[in-house]
């Protein structure tokens, strides 16, 4: 079927933050959509869903496999997410029984799809989209504006109290930080909280952020990514939004992950300069080419007629 608006996958990458630990990120795509899911590190006392390394990896995989099959250019994404979340809730509660809300698995979602009317972005949580249009302008889209700055502030408090990431071997070994994280996690996907993510709360689908992404100049390159890769812009300030996309276009996504790992593990392994809860985070990204075929055809016709 001929489509006016097309989405092409140019490159993908997913890389665990630490060797030997499960990668809790996932990505997926089909002929009209692409997405990235970032599982939130579990805060419970044990794992309930076997076979994936963690409950966070399970929920990300559960969503990714079903979104690839069900998401198209016309269906309401909220309806798709609500149904998948209902299925995930049933599976988790059957296996885990009654658990505190902070132990419920969840993940962020960033997604882009081509519809008959153009490109539509939607998401939940703190994964994001960078767009570099053919006219040189750029966009940055995230369901929770200010999420990265807020997390950096919380991590800075944590680092100041404990003296560095290496000294504490991860945020969950500190009872004060763990209690704060559990309190915040329990408020997610509730009317009393401010954060909506994908997980086992179907009504979170009613709170997805969505917007149109009009192309400027007839086309664009874009990166869908988890917050791991976004740290190159938001935390380390190694790139601005258009610079990140250009680097991916010129050198490939692996070059960005290599640079990120150097910053995390060599430049600032303790998080003293760039505060964060983990030395290295799982990192996933999809590089896309977005095209308006009508605009491209018009541009070609103008060149031929000149």
Q: Where are the alpha helices (DSSP H) in 41-76?
A: 55-70
pLDDT digit string, tens, across residues 175-213: 888 899 999 999 999 999 999 999 999 999 999 999 999
pLDDT of res. 237? 98
Q: Is residue 103 classed as helix, strand or coil in its secondary structure? A: helix
Write the CATH number of the domain with boundaries 5-305: 3.60.40.10
Rounded-to-integer distance, Cα 170 and Cα 165, Å? 6
Q: Is residue 192 classed as helix, strand or coil in its secondary structure? A: coil
pLDDT of res. 297? 61
pLDDT of res. 302? 46
Count CB neighbours of 199 within 10 A: 27
Q: Where are the domains of the chain?
A: 5-305
pLDDT of res. 240? 97
pLDDT of res. 171? 44
pLDDT of res. 170? 46
Q: Regarding beta strands 219-225 and 128-133, do their DSSP bridges make them parallel or antiparallel, or are they unpaired?
A: antiparallel
Residues of the chain short of pLDDT 70, as ranges, are: 1, 166-173, 296-306
pLDDT digit string, tens, across residues 288-304: 999 998 876 655 444 44
**Could you tell me which residues come within 8 angstroms of residue 131 by beta carbon, excluding any fewer than 6 positions away?**
138, 139, 140, 141, 213, 220, 221, 222, 241, 245, 290
pLDDT of res. 228? 96
pLDDT of res. 139? 98
pLDDT of res. 167? 60
Considering only CA atoms, which of 286, 261, 242 is closest in space to residue 131?
A: 242
Q: Sheet containing 219-225: which strands, arranged edge to edge?
A: 5-15, 283-292, 219-225, 128-133, 138-141
Asked if residue 271 lies in contact with residue 166, where contact means CB atoms within 8 angstroms, the answer is no
């Amino acid at each position: 079927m001929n489509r006016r608006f097309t989405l092409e996958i140019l490159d993908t990458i997913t890389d665990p933050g630490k060797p030997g630990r499960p990668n809790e990120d996932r990505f997926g795509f089909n002929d009209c959509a692409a997405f990235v899911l970032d599982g939130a590190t579990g805060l419970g006392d044990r794992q309930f869903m076997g076979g994936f390394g963690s409950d966070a990896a399970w929920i990300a995989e559960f969503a990714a496999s079903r979104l690839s099959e069900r998401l198209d250019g016309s269906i309401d994404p909220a309806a798709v997410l609500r149904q998948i979340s209902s299925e995930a809730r049933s599976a988790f509660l059957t296996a885990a029984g009654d658990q505190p809300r902070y132990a419920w698995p969840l993940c962020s979602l960033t997604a882009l799809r081509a519809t008959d009317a153009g490109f539509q972005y939607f998401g939940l949580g703190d994964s994001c989209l960078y767009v570099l249009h053919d006219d040189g302008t750029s966009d940055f889209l995230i369901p929770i504006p200010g999420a990265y700055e807020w997390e950096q502030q919380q991590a800075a408090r944590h680092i100041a109290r404990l003296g560095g990431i290496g000294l504490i071997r991860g945020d969950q070994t500190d009872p004060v930080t763990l209690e704060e994280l559990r309190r915040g996690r329990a408020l997610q996907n509730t009317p009393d909280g401010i954060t909506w993510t994908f997980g086992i709360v179907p009504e979170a689908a009613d709170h997805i952020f969505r917007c149109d992404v009009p192309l400027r100049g007839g086309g664009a390159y874009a990166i869908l990514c988890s917050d791991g890769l976004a740290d190159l812009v938001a935390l380390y300030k190694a790139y601005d939004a258009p610079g990140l996309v250009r680097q991916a276009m010129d050198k490939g996504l692996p070059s960005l992950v290599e640079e990120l790992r150097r910053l995390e593990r060599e430049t600032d392994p303790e998080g003293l300069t760039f505060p964060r809860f983990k030395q290295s985070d799982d990192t996933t990204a999809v590089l896309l080419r977005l095209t308006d075929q009508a605009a491209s055809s018009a541009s070609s016709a103008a060149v031929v007629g000149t």
